[in-house]
Amino acid sequence: MSQFDLILLGPPGAGKGTQASRIAADYRIPHVSTGDILRAAVKNQTQMGLEGKKYMDAGELVPDAVVIGIVRERLQEPDTAKGFLMDGFPRTIPQAQALDAALDDLGRAITKTIVILVDEEDLVKRLTGRRICRVCQAPFHVNFNPPREEGVCDKCRGELYQRDDDAEATVRNRLEVYRSQTEPLIDYYDRAGVVARIDGAQSPDEVYASIREVLGPAGE
């Protein structure tokens, strides 16, 4: 593969964020997480953040127009010319169609959609025990991937916190939203012949090794 226009797909808690930073570093492509962009907007109290917060707190999807706008803008940045890793986008068929159209305008197309699969009860355990770095957004887990020092990010020493939407009731709704609105995207990308399914129940290192096998060498 020479161009890395990649999507990481899978339910909340599958390990997309955990894998994304390693893929982005090794393949030298920007990690584009619409969730991270939206949380930054909430923190900075921008218009978009104020509008998005009510959906995020309820575990619902932010309207397509808002999220598609974010990604269109991000694709204008020069660092995406050599590829990108979408994490948490697209989440609906209209979002996937908008991404295809934006790439088509650039003479590009998705090269691989990596789908990480994990059983539902494991997802609940992963999400309710998740802790995130306030500074670099790195994900940890109180049992499965604990930081060396409690409450402190291994990578940048930032403070770890629990996302509001990682409370169990909200997690269950997010999983339902995933099933009804996002899972159909696996078929959508299957039709384009770009899907690689990865067993996300393995350890993070094993999941990464499976992803590397699918993507092949990073090239120059």
Residue 172 is among the residues annotated as catalytic for this protein: no
Residue 61 binds to ligand AMP (criterion: CB under 6 A): yes
Q: How far is the CB of 133 from ligand AMP (least distance, A)?
A: 13
Distance CA(56)–CA(52), nearest Å, equals 6
Residue 55 binds to ligand AMP (criterion: CB under 6 A): yes
Q: Which of 58, 14, 12, 71 is nearest to 169 (CA)?
A: 58
Residue 16 is among the residues annotated as catalytic for this protein: yes
Distance CA(65)–CA(55), nearest Å, equals 14
Q: How far is the CB of 203 from ligand ADP (least distance, A)?
A: 6
Helix locations, 78-202, DSSP H: 93-105, 120-128, 168-177, 184-191
Tell me which of ligand AMP, ligand ADP, none is bound by residue 147, counting a contact when its beta carbon lies within the kind-specific cut-off of 5 to 8 angstroms.
Answer: none
Tell me which of ligand ADP, ligand AMP, none is bound by residue 207, counting a contact when its beta carbon lies within the kind-specific cut-off of 5 to 8 angstroms.
Answer: ligand ADP
The identity of residue 111, as a single letter, is T
Tell me which of ligand AMP, ligand ADP, none is bound by residue 38, counting a contact when its beta carbon lies within the kind-specific cut-off of 5 to 8 angstroms.
Answer: ligand AMP
Nearer to ligand AMP, 150 or 187 (CB): 187
Pick the catalytic residue: 74, 91, 112, 131? 91
- 117-143 in b/e form (b: 16+ CB < 10 A) is ebeeeebbbbbbbbbbbeeebbbbbee
The footprint of ligand ADP (CB under 6 A) covers: 10, 12-18, 126, 129-130, 139-141, 144-145, 203-204, 207
DSSP code per residue over 157-171? -PBEE--GGGSHHHH
The identity of residue 30, as a single letter, is P
User: Strand 130-133 to strand 83-87: parallel, antiparallel, or no bridges (unpaired)?
Assistant: unpaired
Pick the catalytic residue: 72, 108, 125, 163? 163
Q: How far is the CB of 217 from ligand AMP (least distance, A)?
A: 28
Residue 54 is among the residues annotated as catalytic for this protein: no
Which residue numbers are catalytic? 16, 91, 130, 163, 174
Binding site for ligand AMP (CB under 6 A): 12, 34-35, 38, 55-56, 59-62, 67, 88-91, 95, 165, 174
